[in-house]
A and B are shown apart, each in its own frame.
Chain A
């Protein structure tokens, strides 16, 4: 039986891959055979990810895909939706101590895919360490039922929700764009990741004393770093802060992508202001812009898009949804995303780091992904070139705030291609 695709999927294709990769660094080298078995076992519990996309007239649909998920050596990205990935839109890879999970933001988001990755890790680590006992209360095991609330392919209401916007959603007409970041995929081979492993204790001691969360504190520091690298700029700097709107949708377990981007606008007058104020601005902006009442506007936008593309050809749908996605993300100078603290159920004993990567063409040119493992925040600063000036300035600021960290070697990263059926 086929499943309905999220209308975001019509935007996928060359020029907008939207692919995401999660790198999980283990304390020991990855065993391919154990990983294959773990993926196979875990996949039984997540049938909504074991699918292939097919074209039916002027629509895409998702159909069950009985072929195994591909597991590529040397960290190689399989092109999703092709023979290389066995038609899947989910793929795995490994390299040394790392396991990579690749998929598309048009299918799911960090919150949606995490249970699957966790289940894979559970089966993998259980096989590698048979004497170890993990807390399975928060791990979804193969054989357990798949709730409809998690699996449903159309979690949106059929009719528009009543709108009572909380306000505060205005964006500046002109936004400062980093002048040194290449556009599009032309220089995708230069995309660079700089990972900082920051002491949670140090950072939260500072951030919580300022009513801050890790995401807004990191955003404030990066804002300072950018303004210091560009003293001549007078345009507002905008941080696109990712947040999920499952709560407003009342679908907390939905596996689909429910990410929204809330702009935090730093006008030039905030240059040189103290981090407490910057943090208040970031948190305050987020409170209002990520409020459920504003998220309802995003939900209604999805419903309106659904109604608008009905009857369009595939080509028309593609163009329409691309414009909608770009408009929804808006113009940002940089982005910050934080998945939040996740329950590792003891698996983190064997995990040294988790680093998410994503498609930089949908970003302002510099994106920060924050992940939490044990007592460390992994802060991945991604840029479209190898110039380290923003990360270096960010590191100087961390030092000045007395926050201890370790910086990994800079790394070039690539993401999977994604092909939709013709």
Chain B
């Protein structure tokens, strides 16, 4: 980095000290034995002296709490993104975490979005840690999450539904910012399809509950003050944040806010994820029990557009059926979602072909089949009973459904 660039970077950090929190996160991840985090630290030339986060002055209990929270959020978010089945992982904000490396290693597309200073760092470093082909899966874009044009530009040529992940963002928005941001999420989901998963609404109750379960007898007020004191940027109370001790009234309020923006949320509880963290393993059995008990109701939020087709935004692959007879094999290619709205169309195509005769076997090309619901499974079973079905190029999301329901045991799956 040249002198001018260093000066620009220093200016950017001054104007938004949240970068310090992002770098602190990287150090905490390295402490949790994440080798990719350590590699990024090395490439960035960071040392504990060079980063300036206030949260480095924490006591051991507080630090352990931070590490559990951080690791839980990181791992759970990655797991939920994978499980969503949506092919494009949008990390908003991406910060300095090694998520890009891990997502690309899994063969999924990754788009990191953040303010220019972070993007400047990450777009220089991450490609150095990935081999050539994997580099093509990763892209970093400077955006302002409240500015739709910047988000739209970043995603303009993206194909496939999005899994937008947000952790460490909403608490820094005022109400004047949160509403435009939610409008932007709605537009992105309506345009691209997919879901938005955020850990942010319940971050404060989560942190407070873990800290108290570990052994601190601090009051809610003290924890609030600590969180505030250790934050590099003042966080704000906005319409999306759940307050400590006010969960019963705030969770329905947040749901109502999302609903006003045409969004619908499902809370995904995370206690299982906490138990899988390395930091959690350092707790005593009593502390572990207390942490799990106290966090059993803490959740991430999975949000989809409450638009058409039963609350689903569906523009990953458009639904289509292509059919043709190859010898006595009825070749079908199904794209998009095969569900109660679309499965009757597949049945109709099949029945017409069957009436015309000449079918000995049915082969379904599933490479662009995004999801299959029970209505789709029922049509497969009808075809299986009459002619036998071979499924080709099944993706992992559809395969999971076939395996868990037992359909994999009756259908012929092509390698």
Contacts and interface: CB of A to CB of B under 8 A. Distances in A.
A400 B272 contact: no
A324 interface: no
Contacts of B407: 168, 284, 288
B310 A280 contact: no
B381 A291 contact: yes
Nearest to A273: B83
Contact of B405 (A168, A269, A272): A168
Contact of B269 (A167, A208, A228, A232): A228
Interface stretch (B8-16, B226-234, B348-356, B371-379): B371-379
B218 interface: no
A166 B373 contact: no
A231 B275 contact: yes
A160 interface: no
A284 B296 contact: no
Interface string A258-270: 0000000111011
Nearest to B83: A273
A280 B401 contact: yes
Nearest to A291: B381
Contact of A272 (B255, B268, B375): B268
Contacts of B310: 208-210
A288 B296 contact: no
B292 to A, nearest CB: 5
Contacts of B311: 209
The range of chain A's interface size is 35 or more
Nearest to A400: B267
A228 B296 contact: yes
B270 interface: yes
Contact of A232 (B266, B292, B302): B292
Contact of A231 (B83, B251, B252, B272): B272
B60 interface: no
A397 to B, nearest CB: 9
B374 A211 contact: yes
A272 B255 CA distance: 18
Contacts of A325: none
Nearest to A281: B404
Contacts of B340: 208, 211
B272 A280 contact: no
A170 interface: yes
Contacts of B372: 280
B409 A267 contact: no
Contact of A168 (B83, B373, B410): B410
B266 A274 contact: yes
B273 interface: yes
A182 B410 CA distance: 38
Given A231-B275, A232-B292, A291-B381, A211 B406 contact: no
Nearest to A267: B404
A289 B406 contact: yes
B406 A169 contact: yes
A269 B404 CA distance: 10
B269 A211 contact: no
Interface string A206-219: 00111100001000
Nearest to B266: A274
Nearest to B381: A287
Given A231-B292, A284-B377, A291-B381, A168 B339 contact: no
Contacts of B80: 272
Given A208-B310, A210-B310, A402-B255, A283 B272 contact: no
B269 A285 contact: no
Interface string A70-82: 0000000000000
Nearest to B251: A400
Most chain A CB atoms below 10 A, which of B302, B385, B404, B410:
B404
Interface in B382-415: 385, 400-401, 404-407, 409-410
A338 to B, nearest CB: 15
B346 to A, nearest CB: 14
Given A168-B409, A272-B270, A273-B83, A280 B302 contact: no
A207 to B, nearest CB: 10
Nearest to A224: B269
Given A287-B374, A399-B252, A402-B255, A231 B406 contact: no
Interface in B133-172: none
A166 B381 contact: yes
Contacts of B302: 274
Interface of B: 76, 79-80, 83, 251-252, 255, 266-273, 275, 292, 296-297, 302, 310-312, 339-340, 372-375, 377-378, 381, 385, 400-401, 404-407, 409-410
Given A170-B409, A272-B269, A284-B401, 13 more contacts: A166-B381, A168-B407, A209-B310, A209-B311, A211-B339, A227-B272, A231-B271, A269-B400, A273-B268, A277-B401, A283-B377, A288-B410, A291-B381
26 contacts: A166-B410, A170-B406, A209-B310, A211-B340, A211-B373, A227-B272, A228-B296, A232-B275, A232-B292, A271-B272, A272-B83, A272-B269, A274-B302, A279-B374, A280-B372, A280-B373, A280-B405, A281-B405, A284-B377, A284-B401, A285-B404, A285-B406, A287-B374, A287-B381, A288-B410, A400-B266
**7 closest Cβ pairs, A-B complex:** A168-B406, A209-B310, A283-B374, A284-B405, A231-B271, A167-B410, A211-B373
